[in-house]
Structure 1
Amino acid sequence: MALSRIFKKLAGPDKVPEPGRPITVLLVDDQPDVAQVTKELLREKGYTVVAKSHAAGALDALATNPDIDIVVSDVVMPGELGGADIAEFAKEMAGLKTILISGFPHHRITIESLGKYDVVLKPFLIDELDERIRAALDCD
């Protein structure tokens, strides 16, 4: 584990972006069109965005990019790992908050995530996601 990741973990779960530095969002969505539009809209809101299309790529980004401030991940993705797994890793290993997004409100995994994580249902307005990100990070 990189030294910066160890310090981040020791810093605890209340990681707050440094003043003056843009907030970096790790966006994880397996639907390329959704990911591209969300990425562009988040950038228009002033965020730096690191986009990944699958859980393995997201976990790698979390392990190697100390600038990530928050994770926005699709809940349901192909493969063994999904958004809830990414959220747990982000919380436990990097002290990061996660906002889950889902186009399947009645899917078992989405229902299990409600209450445990902040879940935004697709389609969503970018202003809603922006508000949730800022609230999660306690930004004004």
Structure 2
Amino acid sequence: MRRLLIADDHPLFRAALRQAANESVGDCEVTEAADLAGALEALAADPDIDLVLLDLHMPGSQGLSGLATLRGQHPGVAVLVVSAHDEPRTVRRALDHGAAGFIPKSASPHDIAQAIGNVLDCGTWLPADLARSIAALPADPADVDLAARLARLTEQQYRVLALLGQGLLNKQIADRLTIQERTVKAHVTAIFEKLGVRNRTQAGVLLRSLDIGESARL
């Protein structure tokens, strides 16, 4: 049985995605989350989830940060981004950061079902108009470079990085992750080396570059 996770803070849209998933896959198990923390908890509880349908803006996730977090902590799970913020540059950035496809919130139930089916079959999906626009839009070297650097991190290192981005101290991170403080220090050192930064401030700047602007808050 296929397992899907819908991560969106709008209950009505979650219901629409669930219906499209049932129409596309048939007998499937669907879990829902209203924020990024809930999505991460669901993935930790069920590592066999095949696909995440991820809203770009919901509690705990701003811009591409939620996508980067899911890809960093659960690299084996396919992610379909679902967003009303469907400008070609934003879609291009989402793809460069590991999304398997992009569903505009204006998409028809048929297109949503097709997208889910394609990605579950190890393919990709974009609406035809966006696919044409993005074909002529080169990847941003900065995004490609950042995605490559983030991909060097282990899942635990990405968890530490996310907490660093929230301004937590090493002791607070150790308490949150239930690990020893010296282990956190070792992770921080490795994170700085892999990201090519010298301190927390520079690491925070990298994370903030995942934002897609205030206009993306839809």
TM-score normalized by the length of structure 2? 0.46
Return the letter of the residue paired with 2:107.
Answer: F
Q: Which has the higher helix share?
A: 2
Given the alignment of the two structures, is residue 73 of structure 1 paired with residue 54 of structure 2, yes or no?
Answer: yes
Question: Highest CA radius of gyration, 1 or 2?
Answer: 2
Give the unaligned 5+ runs of structure 2.
Answer: 124-218
How large is the Cα RMSD of the aligned pairs?
A: 2.8
1:103: Cα distance to partner?
1.0
In structure 2, relative to structure 1, the CA distance for the partners of 1:27 and 1:75 (3 Å cut) is: same
Whether contact under 8 Å (1:102, 1:120) holds in the other structure is yes
Return the letter of the residue paired with 1:125.
Answer: S
Whether contact under 8 Å (1:90, 1:97) holds in the other structure is no
Task: Map 1:1-140 to 2 at 5 A.
Answer: 22-45=1-24, 46=26, 47-79=28-60, 81-82=61-62, 84-94=64-74, 95-106=76-87, 112-116=93-97, 117=99, 118-138=101-121
1:96: Cα distance to partner?
0.7
Give the unaligned 5+ runs of structure 1.
Answer: 1-21
Whether contact under 8 Å (1:28, 1:58) holds in the other structure is yes
1:33: Cα distance to partner?
1.1
Return the letter of the residue paired with 2:18.
Answer: K
In structure 2, relative to structure 1, the CA distance for the partners of 1:132 and 1:119 (3 Å cut) is: same
Local SS of the residue matching 2:68 = helix
Whether contact under 8 Å (1:105, 1:121) holds in the other structure is yes
Percentage identity across aligned positions?
Answer: 28
Whether contact under 8 Å (1:26, 1:68) holds in the other structure is yes
Q: Which runs of 4+ in 1 moved over 4 A?
A: 108-111
